[in-house]
Structure 1
Amino acid sequence: MGRLLGIEGGGTHTRWMVLEEQGEIVAKGSEGVGNVHLLTTRELVSLFQSIKEKARVEIEQIGAGFAGCHSEKEKQILEESIRSVWPESIKVIVAEDTRTAYARAFEPGQEGILVIAGTGSNVIGYKAGIWEKAGGWGQLGDPGSGYRIGREGLERIYLEYDLTKNVSALGQAFLRHSCRNDLDDFLSYVLPSFGKKDFIASFAPIVLSMAENGEESSFEIVNREASMLGLRVQIVARRLGLNNPRIALVGGLFENSSFYTTLFQSQLKKLLSFSECFVCTTPGPLGAIRLLGYAAPVYQRSMENVLPDKTQREALDRSMTEERNPRSAALEKKSIPELVDLFISEETFVQQALEKCRREIAEAAAATSSILEKGGRLFYVGAGTSGRLGALDASEMPPTFNVSPELVQAIMAGGADALWRSMEGIEDSSTEGFKSVLNRGVSSKDMVCGITASGRTPFVLSALQAAKTIGAKTLLLSCNPSRPPCPFADLAIDLPTGPEIIAGSTRLKAGTATKIVLNMLSTIAMIRTGKVKDNLMINLQPKSMKLRYRSLRILMHLYGLDESTAIALLEKKGWLLAAVISELESGKARLG
């Protein structure tokens, strides 16, 4: 039978697995959206090419189940796309993702009912060659899904606010989740993405958590949606004439929330009797492989992508950021004053590291300034703490120097959600790092600064590779002089900050030193591009009393003006200090 590839494409993720004939997993991974209604043929081919590049082995047979693959035309497009990438494959079988999901839980020809509850929901049943389904109508009919629970929760918080003028407990949980301050601010966050099912479904875990903790409105939502999903199971069972069927549960809601599973089973018992109702934990891609006739019930788990390989381990073992700090042994036994003294003393290593890299920092600052002076842009790329530091520096440029948000940008592994919630695992995705640079439109005129304390983060290094391929200027910023060589970096700064007080916690000294370097890169570039005069910010956005008053003081100081004259000049230009200075320097403005 040879090597087998199983692909399961869903509304949020596409997961794949390669098996040897004996059952050993030789490769596996995850890609982006896999709904055929949401992807063009070109995007499907690109998806499969990404899988092929990661699998790195010859494939003889392929089974694929994709959301939205209902009609024969859609199946043909899917099969042709697969064969264009793997022309050597002997056998290709494609189907709707519900069929592969069913194959995960049941043997070929076995009757039963499958309940899917993830971003969307669906119920399918099989008996004696006959298939029946209920639900699976997207936004128009996915009861008990993450989308429906998330949407019901969003609607409920505004209803409760209209009734009480208070933000409900669920509303407060949503604000914490999104790092927003009030419901108006939250609305501006939600509405632009309201049409995206996966975005709305991302609020479902919050509703489930609140329901589990006894919050009344959340429990009402979850209980009702579970009941409506159970009703679809009853419909399918009646149509097929199934008595006491086995019922398998798959999807993120069941697999990640025992509370929801128990609640659903309780609601289901009110509607029909069943012999068994179980959560199926068999990987989705294995269901796709079973379409090929592969019936082995047990497979071997591979440790690939779970632990670093030998080369990666050696690099980590050499990394300064992973070493233990002999000066910070027995932290739990130190008094608070002793801990404060320790933190202060360790900061001396930050200054020493910066001084040792003075030449490299100056070279990088000169290159960055030159890029921006010629109309290029600066992109920071990072994961975890490094990515957040890049995002922080980029976000400060528009309010500080009144420049376009496009001038200095941040590419964060995991996207905006990773800014305030841990998504560290995404740092291992080389494919996502490479694609992120392409998707953000980086050009040969730009500078890409990859930030990684260890100097080895795959997401960052692949982003630099993509930037180098495009012809952009590339800079690697690390805190590990012992890092592996990076052929994709034109410039490099390796700050020797040394072991952290808490081993591996690079948000400490490494984070401080990294932020100082980013401060220098961006601020020196702003100085060189005329956003600073003397040591004063002259390109302010006059959006607050404080900033308008600062503009007034700067103008009075630079040109020796009295307050009334300075106010008149600023009011004439809408309080845009840079515009006033430009007129004064050109001699066009009249004083007095």
Structure 2
Amino acid sequence: MGRLLGIEGGGTHTRWIVLEEEKGGVVAKGSEGVGNVHLLTTSELVSLFQSIKEKVRVEIKQIGAGFAGCHSEKEKKILEEIIRSVWPESTKVIIAEDTRTAYARAFAPDQEGILVIAGTGSNVIGYKAGIWEKAGGWGQLGDPGSGYRIGREGLERIYLDFDLTKNVSALAQAFLRQSCRNDMDDFLSYVLPSFAKKDFIASFAPIVLSMAEQGEESSFEIVNREASMLGLRVQIVARRLGLTNPRIALVGGLFENSSFYTTLFQNQLKKLLSFSECFVCRTPGPLGAIRLLGYASAVYQMSMENVLPDKTQREALDRSMTEERNPRSASLEKKTIQELVDLFISEETFVQQALEKCRREIAEAVAATSSILEKGGRLFYVGAGTSGRLGALDASEMPPTFNVSPEMVQAIMAGGADALWRSMEGIEDSSREGFKSIFNRGVTSKDMVCGITASGRTPFVIAALEAAKTIGAKTLLLSCNPSRPPCPYADLAIDLPTGPEIIAGSTRLKAGTATKIVLNMLSTISMIRTGKVKDNLMINLQPKSMKLRYRSLRILMHLYGLDEPAAIALLEKKGWLLAAVISELESEKARLDQGSPP
């Protein structure tokens, strides 16, 4: 049976799908990095297609591909040659600009209409009787109504407002909140190094849209103006083609993720021309590329991907203790504040009980982690959502608390740094990203990888453990679900029976508390075993604040009975590095004990 491969490459990512030719069933699907041909070298394009081929793993009969920046026949020819260098010559290949594949998502062959694209960039294309027209799509020079333009306008506006008033505007506060920055100067140092990246600037558009929806004046002004400018391009295309009352399809992240922006755009469009229909098209992008091959829409009927878990995934979730309802917390909205406080406190006893039941497993995991760190290996925490943030928190505390390299304890967070302070939970379903993250971060056979997942089934985490196992690293699975599916990739496992949460499924509660305590033990006991603690005092801390320098002073005075001037003199001599002072004093003490002269 022949297989059809559809590829859609854009400015942010490249998505692909493989279908069976006759039945239209999905064989495989996935996503890669940037697919704009103007942003990639020939070798990078070759690597992109080789990566897709490795994941497809089946023979392909025909390939339909649409790529951003692929405007001219010369560019299409070059791209076709690159694809043929990866797949056999017998494979049928059709190449088009991504706007044509996007059009094929929404309209049947030879059907007249107008397609409006608003994602990182924007574009408007129309078709009638064999004639194509376009307006916009000129990158940074002409992407009205795009995420890039809205994000950039928002960034420029907050600094204009700050210059005028010296006050941090509501929009600026929203930007600071998302980026976890404290002031306008700090935020500028965060933005400027990546200002040339369209996708980075476009990442601020959802904030502007949210503030506009809330009625923030400057944000609404920006969004309304950009929507109007994009609508003007639609009017231009309709006029050139002589389309009266056309069907208009909307695609791209701004339309698909913001009903507010869609409504605002439609209202602006009504002022410019009449249309029979203006609808958001949610058909997957790569399907448009397959339709270029001449296959009708019936070949693939699914309009939304990964909406619900499959049967096996449902069964695993249904067995999960973290998804169960807690009989002790029924009718929460009817309880008084005091009753709710008492309930939360009483539920914490289950955390203690869960830890008690896993004493042996925790000790085994701590012993293995300590041994690895003592031998120069590293500890990697892998998680998504709350679990990932707990791992990142514990890892981030190691350098300031114990003055160790950030390399020693690291966090791999599904969705990257942005997911630390804003929800990106959907990424947890990507096994491919989890598997790839282990190789990208340079994990070796000398390291320990701890997968953190309250349910014990998060695809990102399980795939990361699989990759770590392939490399030969030691692996540990930390869950709060003794009923989790078996995991063949975990050398060690800790399954904390914390039970159902006060709010069903909210694993940042008891499960989060118990997980945090286990992570504390993994890292802290390992630091103790590697000599970073003396008595019950942290002796390897970094003297980067007055508080920490004063703590170093008090520790030194306590351990060796020194007065303050003597202790200060020793610390200043060693740049306030307490561990260095202690090492010198201990060496001198050892020489004296052996009768050697100081």
Give TM-score, length-normalised by structure 2.
0.90
User: Would the alpha carbon gap of residues 453 and 46 (structure 1) be closer, same or farther in structure 2, given more than 3 Å must change?
Assistant: farther
Q: Which runs of 5 or more residues in structure 2 are unaligned?
A: 593-598
Number of the residue aligned with 1:227? 228
CA offset digits 1:217-269 (Å, max 9, x no partner): 22222233233333434544555565665443322222333333343344445
Once residues 163 and 267 of structure 2 are traced to their aligned partners in structure 1, the CA distance between those partners, rounded to angstroms, is 33
User: Would the alpha carbon gap of residues 26 and 394 (structure 1) be closer, same or farther in structure 2, given more than 3 Å must change?
Assistant: same
Q: CA deviation at 1:50?
A: 5.8
User: Are 1:60 and 1:88, in contact at CA under 8 Å, matched by a contact in 2?
Assistant: no
More deviation, 410-419/191-200: 191-200
Q: CA deviation at 1:53?
A: 6.7
Once residues 308 and 283 of structure 1 are traced to their aligned partners in structure 2, the CA distance between those partners, rounded to angstroms, is 18
Once residues 365 and 228 of structure 1 are traced to their aligned partners in structure 2, the CA distance between those partners, rounded to angstroms, is 60
CA offset digits 1:395-418 (Å, max 9, x no partner): 111221122222211111111222
CA offset digits 1:502-558 (Å, max 9, x no partner): 333222222111111110111112122222121111122222221111111111111
User: Are 2:282 and 2:303, in contact at CA under 8 Å, matched by a contact in 1?
Assistant: no
User: Are 2:118 and 2:145, in contact at CA under 8 Å, matched by a contact in 1?
Assistant: yes
More deviation, 504-513/404-413: 504-513
User: Are 2:248 and 2:278, in contact at CA under 8 Å, matched by a contact in 1?
Assistant: yes
Q: CA deviation at 1:206?
A: 1.5
Q: Secondary structure at the match of 1:453?
A: coil
Once residues 266 and 310 of structure 1 are traced to their aligned partners in structure 2, the CA distance between those partners, rounded to angstroms, is 42
More deviation, 327-336/453-462: 327-336
Q: CA deviation at 1:334?
A: 3.9
User: Would the alpha carbon gap of residues 329 and 254 (structure 1) be closer, same or farther in structure 2, given more than 3 Å must change?
Assistant: closer
Q: Secondary structure at the match of 1:304?
A: coil
User: Are 2:287 and 2:300, in contact at CA under 8 Å, matched by a contact in 1?
Assistant: no
More deviation, 411-420/75-84: 75-84
% identity of equivalent residues:
93
More deviation, 159-168/334-343: 334-343
User: Are 2:256 and 2:282, in contact at CA under 8 Å, matched by a contact in 1?
Assistant: yes
Q: CA deviation at 1:299?
A: 4.9
Once residues 312 and 304 of structure 2 are traced to their aligned partners in structure 1, the CA distance between those partners, rounded to angstroms, is 15
User: Are 1:34 and 1:67, in contact at CA under 8 Å, matched by a contact in 2?
Assistant: yes
Once residues 302 and 68 of structure 1 are traced to their aligned partners in structure 2, the CA distance between those partners, rounded to angstroms, is 26
Q: CA deviation at 1:295?
A: 2.8
CA offset digits 1:179-223 (Å, max 9, x no partner): 332222222332233222112111112212222333222222223
Count of residue pairs the alignment pairs up: 591
Q: CA deviation at 1:98?
A: 0.8
More deviation, 153-162/26-35: 26-35
Number of the residue aligned with 1:15? 15
| Superposition CA RMSD, Å | 3.1
User: Are 1:135 and 1:142, in contact at CA under 8 Å, matched by a contact in 2?
Assistant: yes
User: Are 1:24 and 1:300, in contact at CA under 8 Å, matched by a contact in 2?
Assistant: no
User: Would the alpha carbon gap of residues 320 and 278 (structure 1) be closer, same or farther in structure 2, given more than 3 Å must change?
Assistant: closer
User: Are 1:25 and 1:301, in contact at CA under 8 Å, matched by a contact in 2?
Assistant: no
Q: Secondary structure at the match of 1:324?
A: coil
User: Are 1:210 and 1:218, in contact at CA under 8 Å, matched by a contact in 2?
Assistant: yes
CA offset digits 1:282-321 (Å, max 9, x no partner): 3322221221112346953389733333333333333332
User: Would the alpha carbon gap of residues 353 and 259 (structure 1) be closer, same or farther in structure 2, given more than 3 Å must change?
Assistant: closer
Q: Which runs of 5 or more residues in structure 1 are unaligned?
A: none
User: Would the alpha carbon gap of residues 40 and 471 (structure 1) be closer, same or farther in structure 2, given more than 3 Å must change?
Assistant: farther
User: Would the alpha carbon gap of residues 474 and 42 (structure 1) be closer, same or farther in structure 2, given more than 3 Å must change?
Assistant: farther
Q: CA deviation at 1:81?
A: 5.2
Give TM-score, length-normalised by structure 1.
0.90
User: Would the alpha carbon gap of residues 161 and 21 (structure 1) be closer, same or farther in structure 2, given more than 3 Å must change?
Assistant: same
More deviation, 257-266/188-197: 257-266
Q: CA deviation at 1:322?
A: 2.8
User: Are 1:237 and 1:243, in contact at CA under 8 Å, matched by a contact in 2?
Assistant: yes
User: Would the alpha carbon gap of residues 589 and 231 (structure 1) be closer, same or farther in structure 2, given more than 3 Å must change?
Assistant: farther
Once residues 103 and 246 of structure 1 are traced to their aligned partners in structure 2, the CA distance between those partners, rounded to angstroms, is 14
User: Are 2:282 and 2:304, in contact at CA under 8 Å, matched by a contact in 1?
Assistant: no
User: Are 2:148 and 2:199, in contact at CA under 8 Å, matched by a contact in 1?
Assistant: yes
More deviation, 174-183/423-432: 174-183
User: Would the alpha carbon gap of residues 120 and 354 (structure 1) be closer, same or farther in structure 2, given more than 3 Å must change?
Assistant: same
Once residues 341 and 223 of structure 1 are traced to their aligned partners in structure 2, the CA distance between those partners, rounded to angstroms, is 49
User: Are 1:62 and 1:89, in contact at CA under 8 Å, matched by a contact in 2?
Assistant: no
Once residues 411 and 456 of structure 1 are traced to their aligned partners in structure 2, the CA distance between those partners, rounded to angstroms, is 17
Q: CA deviation at 1:66?
A: 1.6
Q: CA deviation at 1:496?
A: 2.4
More deviation, 471-480/495-504: 495-504
